[in-house]
Amino acid sequence: MQYNTIEKAGIKVSNLSFGCMSLTDSSTGNDALIGKAIDAGITLFDTADLYEKGENEKLLGKAIKGRRKDVAISTKAGNRWRSDGSGWDWCPEKKYILKAADESLKRLQTDYIDIYLLHGGTVDDPSDDVIEAFERLKEQGKIRSYGISSIRPNVIRKYVSEYDIAAVMTQYSLLDRRPEEETLPLLQENNIAVLARGTVAGGLLAGKPAADYLDTDAKEISAIINKINTMLPNRDFTEKAYRYVMDSPAITTAVAGIRTAAHLQQALMAADATILAVQERQMLRDIWEGNKYVQQR
């Protein structure tokens, strides 16, 4: 396992992180699975108050009890469940974020959150209020650092230019190379950590049958997958997908959605594989021209 540092927070994290979203409270073996990940060297576990109406945070808190000093936690706020449970509404309000943080701390059974992220956002949000809430939480010792979870370049640019955020979570993979156009260079230039989600593109880069993905139809996805499969035959198919993300100089950690022991093992094998050589990475880049942002530029 390799490790990187979230420079603006002084937090050391593994280049592979555990995305807890796929775990459910009814799943068996969550504690053992998370424990195995910690034993293997994974240090960052990602969740959100939105997932299963907070139950995801609860199961993570339960699983890491007694091992809190060994891990870092990232969680998110900004989406408020309706009282009738019919869905959620976007609520980037200072008062709500302060309340949401306290509730997350209780569910996680911890005194502090390592990385607290705004779970989405638009350029029209009251961003000053959001940052005021984050700063207050930081002053109170309830969070160690903060940032945003977004795929929107215009939102990311706004927060980078106007605030001292420590991290951005964004979607990035061999099938979603949009961040390469402007987001990743911007974040690297400003020394902001990047937590990359969607590394295996919803399973398409981990063995699932080809299907439409973003603005690319299933036929083209199939052709891209076949090329990835035949390229660099000395490397496992999914290993190539993970390493392409992990070995980007802008990426701090790849957040893998893990639900089973097999998912964990597959991700760990990729994390322990040798770094892609410059030529190998370029060969994977050359498979297709990549996609670009159409909206929220």
* pLDDT one-digit tens code per residue, 252-269: 999 999 999 999 999 999
Q: Are 76 and 116 in contact (CB under 8 A)?
A: yes
pLDDT at 295: 80
Asked if the model's pLDDT at residue 274 lies above 90, the reply is yes
Residue of 291, 218, 269 whose CA lies nearest to 16: 269
Q: Are 148 and 163 in contact (CB under 8 A)?
A: no
* pLDDT one-digit tens code per residue, 194-250: 999 999 999 999 999 999 999 999 999 999 999 999 999 999 999 999 999 999 999
Asked if the model's pLDDT at residue 95 lies above 90, the reply is yes
* pLDDT one-digit tens code per residue, 107-116: 999 999 999 9
pLDDT at 112: 98
User: Reduced to 3 states, what is the DSSP secondary structure of residue 269?
Assistant: helix
> Quick check: is 51 catalytic?
yes
As a whole number, mean pLDDT of residues 33-57 equals: 96
pLDDT at 146: 98
pLDDT at 294: 86
Measuring CA to CA, how many Å separate 219 from each of 109, 152, 176, 225? 47, 27, 16, 10
Residue of 105, 104, 111 whose CA lies nearest to 54: 104
**Amino acid, single-letter form, for residue 251:** I
Q: Are 251 and 2 in contact (CB under 8 A)?
A: no
Q: Which of 98-107, 130-139, 174-183, 286-295 has the lowest mean pLDDT?
A: 286-295
User: Phi, psi at residue 90, to the nearest 5°?
Assistant: -75, 130
* pLDDT one-digit tens code per residue, 120-142: 999 999 999 999 999 999 999 99
The strand ranges marked E within 23-125 are 44-46, 72-77, 79-81, 88-90, 113-119
Catalytic residue chosen out of the listed positions 3, 51, 112, 242 = 51
pLDDT at 103: 98
pLDDT at 28: 77
Model confidence at 84, pLDDT cuts 50, 70, 90, reads confident
